[in-house]
Amino acid sequence: PPREALAVLYFGNQPEPNITEYVVGPLPLPAYHRDVTVQKYGGKLPYHRRPVTGKEYTDINGLIRSELRKAPRFLTACCESDGTDLVILTTAPRGFRSGDRMTWFVLFHNVAGTGYYVSPVGLEVLVDHGDLHVSRWQLRQVFYNGRYFSSTGDLEQEFVAGALEVVRLKQPQADAVLGSMKPRRPPGSPGPLQFEPQGPRYSIRNNHITFQGWSFAFGMNPNTGPRLFDIRYRGERIVHELSLQEALALYGSNCPGGMSTRYLDGSFGIGRFAYELVRGLDCPYTATYVDRHYLAETDTPRTNKNSLCIFEHDSALPLRRHFSDSQSFYYGGLRKNTLVIRTISTLINYDYIWDFMFHGSGAVEVRVHATGYISSSFFHGQGTDYGNRVGPHTLGTMHLHHIHYKVDLDVDGQLNSLETQDMEYEFVKDPWSRRNTIERPYLRRKRLEKEDEAAFPLNAPMPRYLSFISPKPNKWGHPRSYRIQIISFAGKHLPTNSSMERSISWGRYQLAVTQRKEEEPTSTSIYNQNDPWSPTVTFADFINNETITNEDLVAWITVGFLHVPHAEDIPNTVTVGNGVGFFLRPYNYFNEDPSVDSSDSVYFSSDQDAGACGANPLACLSSAAACAPRLPPFHYGGFLNL
């Protein structure tokens, strides 16, 4: 099919303001466009569902600054500020019902070069920015240190009258601010460096990668982020589409901004805000770095240079090995070398590291790590019911990260079924001693026939083995299949009686398997953030008990974790322990482990000279890697064109 682009336009000056989507093609020289809004969504998209643009935030910031000027004595007392050095942080969603566009903004002390997210001043404002005319936008409420006011003028009046308790904050100094990441010690000696003695062993042509039997195409959606297509191993397609769908961050607090925050990051732009990666830290120094391009809020494309990296990673762990000390003496093994595709999205305060890994065993691993700054509230009252105190006036607010993926598996063809396997114990008489019994584990296999059976609630027990199976057997008579193995520590899903729950109903399930349908391409929509009460896409509607036997199937996977910030999250959250994901592992797909064909395999016995290069490839390393690698000079242009 011809290459086409999706163009999203906001029409605010029409009699009925709306969002319209067009398909434009063929690329790179478009000759046609067609309106697909009704086809995709069943009707026009209301204008109030549009994501907030940079211009809208600029206008909101101007309104807040003008309102702050009405409380000069209060600002001097509370923050040693005139308001111009305070910064705002948006929350979302924006109101309580469909059509609302009212947002709580949290104010922080801003110190250049540090993370303001952990320096709240206790002041939050509710802005109504729903009117088409900016001049009619209003500040609806003000919150300070546990109290609500109708305006900044009302706040100032209460302060002047001595009726307001003020927590007097000093202007933070750059060398003592909580959010500073500046090194406290001079550089030490360099750490270990990974490099390829004879150059990369993978190949990249345009957006297509090949590596030791693997091949696939990669891309980046400005909204939903990284996605892979046509993943093949040894020429056979395993996955048609593997794509990130959404990232939810849901907070708790005793301040209005924090308690109402449910960020749906696709609305902000997971792919759009994947910036240039730092060579030698975000990715190995010698990785291959790729530019990504997008167009948003402008008529010219933007480029995020070096924002995706590809590298082969030596995990310093055997993929497999055995040392034989019985009957005969030998050693055999294979290093766990993995191809990694990585990008990192900075979504306001948080940084998400997105990894897609390809193993020599035929397995695909998908992983996300969270780092960056925590979001925080001003510490007051019973704040520790919602997190931990991490600074003099800073509450690290509890939140959950839930991530959703689409995995369109095609295991030995498009038509697959779903099979589960788990263990049970049976009590049997000992065949050789009838007076005794044995607790014998046995395998319980089950074919799932309908979508409702294959929708596994979040945090509920799930079969330990769950596989997409082909009708075709391997050499040993078992269905060729790929197993889905989820590694997750998710928090609790939003209660289903919540008015906005249907907008994130994908989060009900750790795994749901549905028939693949062209009209169900994504589990959510960028428009769900600003109108979660009437969601544009409702994933729960995908599950309608259709058959999943010998059908083209899609697995929808939710992973995540609960994060209760603590002192060690200052200044930054570390990646250790904050990673989740899943594996796609061959299960009787092959007749044996495919990695036995790897040219990296090592084997030597007691009657061989293990130090001979011809007998053991590890013995060749001392000569092959005798010279230090030639490294390109360090350069970083990630701050350009922001």
In which band, very low, low, confident or very high, does the pLDDT at 179 lie, cut at 50, 70 and 90? confident
Per-residue pLDDT, 336: 96
Strand, helix or coil at 598?
Answer: coil
**Helices in 251-398 by DSSP H: which ranges?**
256-259, 265-268
Residue 134 has pLDDT above 90, yes or no: yes
Residue 627 has pLDDT above 80, yes or no: no
Alpha-carbon distances, residue 117 vs 108, 377, 639 (angstroms): 7, 9, 20
Residue 77 has pLDDT above 90, yes or no: yes
**Arithmetic mean of pLDDT, 555-562:** 99
Per-residue pLDDT, 260: 97
**Arithmetic mean of pLDDT, 518-533:** 98
**Arithmetic mean of pLDDT, 102-129:** 96
**Domains of the chain as residue ranges with CATH:** 5-49 (3.10.450.40), 69-160 (3.10.450.40), 212-317+338-377+389-592 (2.70.98.20), 593-625 (no CATH)
Per-residue pLDDT, 628: 67
C-alpha closest to that of 192 among 370, 316, 336 = 316
Per-residue pLDDT, 564: 99
Per-residue pLDDT, 452: 98
C-alpha closest to that of 534 among 27, 49, 79 = 49
Q: What is the pLDDT of residues 287-304, one digit of tens each?
A: 999 999 999 998 899 999
Q: What are phi and psi of 603, to 5 degrees?
A: -155, 130
pTM of the model: 0.96
Amino acid sitting at position 549: T
Q: What is the pLDDT of residues 234-274, one digit of tens each?
A: 999 999 999 999 999 999 999 999 999 999 999 999 999 99
Q: Bigger pLDDT: 503 or 113?
A: 503
In which band, very low, low, confident or very high, does the pLDDT at 630 lie, cut at 50, 70 and 90? confident
Residue 13 has pLDDT above 70, yes or no: yes
Q: Bigger pLDDT: 317 or 633?
A: 317
Per-residue pLDDT, 623: 74
Share of the chain above pLDDT 70, in %: 99
Residue 119 has pLDDT above 80, yes or no: yes
C-alpha closest to that of 544 among 519, 562, 527 = 519
Per-residue pLDDT, 622: 75
Give the per-residue SS3 of 319-339: EEEEEEEECEEEEEEEEEEEE
Residue 228 belongs to what H/E stretch? strand 225-233
Instruction: Give the pair of three-digit tokens for residue 249.
Output: 């961050």
| Residue numbers annotated as active site | 265, 350
Instruction: Give the pair of three-digit tokens for residue 493.
Output: 């899903």
Per-residue pLDDT, 629: 74
Per-residue pLDDT, 642: 75
Q: Distance between CA atoms of 259 and 257, rounded to whole angstroms? A: 6
Q: Distance between CA atoms of 285 and 310, rounded to whole angstroms? A: 11
Q: What is the pLDDT of residues 535-549, one digit of tens each?
A: 999 999 999 999 999
Assess contact for 371 and 578: CB atoms under 8 A.
yes
Beta strands, E only, 57-162: 86-90, 102-109, 120-128, 138-144, 147-149
Per-residue pLDDT, 608: 83
Residue 625 has pLDDT above 70, yes or no: no
Q: Distance between CA atoms of 561 and 564, rounded to whole angstroms? A: 10
Q: What is the pLDDT of residues 336-371, one digit of tens each?
A: 999 999 999 999 999 999 999 999 999 999 999 999
Residue 631 has pLDDT above 80, yes or no: no
Q: Distance between CA atoms of 469 and 477, rounded to whole angstroms? A: 13
Instruction: Give the pair of three-digit tokens for residue 285.
Output: 């120094």
In which band, very low, low, confident or very high, does the pLDDT at 385 lie, cut at 50, 70 and 90? very high
Q: What is the pLDDT of residues 489-502, one digit of tens each?
A: 999 999 999 999 99
Burial class from Cβ neighbours inside 10 Å (0-12, 13-18, 19+) for residue 490 reads buried
Per-residue pLDDT, 121: 97
Per-residue pLDDT, 635: 78
Q: What is the pLDDT of residues 432-455, one digit of tens each?
A: 998 999 999 999 999 999 999 999
**Helices in 474-546 by DSSP H: which ranges?**
none
Q: Mean pLDDT in the chain?
A: 95
Per-residue pLDDT, 626: 62
Per-residue pLDDT, 449: 98
